[in-house]
Structure 1
Amino acid sequence: MNAPTGDLCAAPVIARVAAVECRLVQRPWAWAEGERERIDAHWAELASRNPALFDGRVLVLHSGGVEGDVFRASYLETGFSRFIAWRDFGFPDRTIRNAFAMAALRSSDGAYLLGVMGPHTANSGKVYFPAGTPDLSDVVGDAVDLSGSVARELEEETGLTAADVAFADDWSVVTHGQRIALMRLVQAREAAEPLRQRILAELSRQKDPELSDIRIVRGTGDLDEAAMPPFVCAYLRQALGEA
């Protein structure tokens, strides 16, 4: 099994896999327990600045990686406050990874559409494909259903459903330090500009939309490295190069 690198300074690494197989295998998170007071103080400060933050339950990866043409991994359940402190403190526990699924939305004319995170979110201003940290709603039995997570996040953030798009069978696993983005190509039936307008109209109807805008990326000149994380830019460079 090829475990993902923990080097935050390294360039993102991309692997193509045929399937993603993940499970919820609960175990204690020793770092979070040992840092409870510091974590709680950090969360109190964040919540004072952004009362919309919610300390729900999320899943983080504690073991696994790419094995042949399959990504296999095990997750544990923890609080969002623990997760966000681990991230903000610079990923001090390198045995844990943030492994999440993303809907790589592509229009019929070959452009990619990404969302700008809203000001009330924990990642305000960042530009991503529709995605979310896995949570208990993604658990079916003991399986973590990341295919279902892709479809759910796509619908929640853009209003698009399986009636509007086709989901690729394979995945791109983009590893950058402690982050693992599991990218699934989502092919839309509309061209980029009308698709963007459709999503914006959906956002205008939502009470608290996660996204504040939609960006269109047709070429590498459209990449915004200040707002787009390195794993997103790496995926887009490869995808646009293959187009």
Structure 2
Amino acid sequence: MSFDLPRNVIFPVDVVDVRLDPRPHPFALANEQAIADNWRREISANPALFDGTVVLLSELGYRDNRLVGRCHAVNYATFMLWRKRRENSGAEHAYAHAMLVAGDNALVAIRMAAHTVNAGRVYFAAGSFEPIDFRDGLVDVDFNMIREVGEETGLDLSVAERGKRYHAMSTSSGTVIFRRYRKTASADEIASRISAFVATEEQPEIEGPVIIRDAADLPEGLMGHMKPLIEWHFAGGD
């Protein structure tokens, strides 16, 4: 299957059937020394980096409104080298976004903290899939979304109204799987709660909330994949 996806368009997803393969990713096996050398440079530049575990895809396809694929657990050092060598690497990255919609229809995103890899960048609170996000080898996308939003913002989305389906967009930098999560509070109220949570954290992952009120209201530092998602939402995307 390799990677057989529509590119640079938003498409509906009813099922995400991505399995965790216990074998090492071929990219990790083929680049062991380069991974170690690059990681030494990365942590020298940013000692706050943590060599945790994330997953990288070895295949992903889209058919009949289903995303079907396979991924492998890798350490973050492997992921960091892959970011530099992604073209023709035999690997791709997928991640999930809970699109947080306030009661006034504004979107609430976040700006990443200065010590993180994406320092200053704006996107919906999110993180890479980790082995904890899999149930019997199958990815639980909503668990990942709820977990990451809770860790970064303190908000509990487990009781929020969810969009009826996922959507996805695949680009050269990765595949984002997203779903609306609606809260009844206004954007200002939600932002205030996030700011209060961040103030209690010793080393918060985010600098703070960012409110986006319409498709022209694009903040500085916005990640490239975010603009189409924002336009989709304010155009009434299904």
Question: Could you state the TM-score of these two structures normalised by the residue count of structure 2?
Answer: 0.92
Aligned AA (1:193): D
Gaps of 5+ in 2: none
Matched, 1:59 2:60: no
Aligned AA (1:31): F
* In 2: Cα distance, 1:122 partner to 1:57 partner: 15
Report how far residue 48 of structure 1 moved: 1.3
Report how far residue 33 of structure 1 moved: 2.5
Aligned AA (1:18): D
Aligned AA (2:217): D
- Contact 1:164–1:189, Cα closer than 8 Å, also in 2: no
Aligned to 2:195: 200
Report how far residue 100 of structure 1 moved: 0.8
Counterpart selection for 1:210 from 202, 205, 210: 205
Matched, 1:106 2:101: yes
| Equivalences for residues 135-154 of structure 1 within 5 A | 135-154=130-149
Matched, 1:80 2:76: yes
Secondary structure of 1:53's partner? coil
Aligned AA (1:70): R
- Contact 1:219–1:240, Cα closer than 8 Å, also in 2: yes
Gaps of 5+ in 1: none
Aligned to 1:4: 5
Report how far residue 198 of structure 1 moved: 1.1
Report how far residue 178 of structure 1 moved: 4.0
Report how far residue 90 of structure 1 moved: 4.0
Report how far residue 216 of structure 1 moved: 0.8
1:152–1:163 CA distance, 2 compared to 1 (3 A): closer
1:62–1:142 CA distance, 2 compared to 1 (3 A): same
* In 2: Cα distance, 1:4 partner to 1:230 partner: 19
Counterpart selection for 2:227 from 224, 228, 233: 233
- Contact 1:31–1:93, Cα closer than 8 Å, also in 2: no
Counterpart selection for 1:125 from 120, 123, 128: 120
Aligned to 1:40: 36
Give the % identical residues. Answer: 27
* In 2: Cα distance, 1:70 partner to 1:229 partner: 26
Aligned to 2:165: 170
Structure 1 segments (4+ residues) deviating >3 Å:
none
Secondary structure of 1:208's partner? coil
Paired residues, number: 236
Secondary structure of 1:75's partner? strand
Aligned to 1:22: 18
Aligned AA (2:112): M
**Can you list the C-alpha shifts for 1:58-86, whole angstroms capped at 9, x where unaligned?**
11111122221222221111111011111
Report how far residue 4 of structure 1 moved: 2.3
The CA RMSD measured in Å over matched residues stands at 1.9
Secondary structure of 1:20's partner? strand
* In 1: Cα distance, 2:32 partner to 2:191 partner: 42
* In 2: Cα distance, 1:15 partner to 1:131 partner: 20
- Contact 1:100–1:182, Cα closer than 8 Å, also in 2: yes
Report how far residue 218 of structure 1 moved: 1.0
Report how far residue 31 of structure 1 moved: 3.0
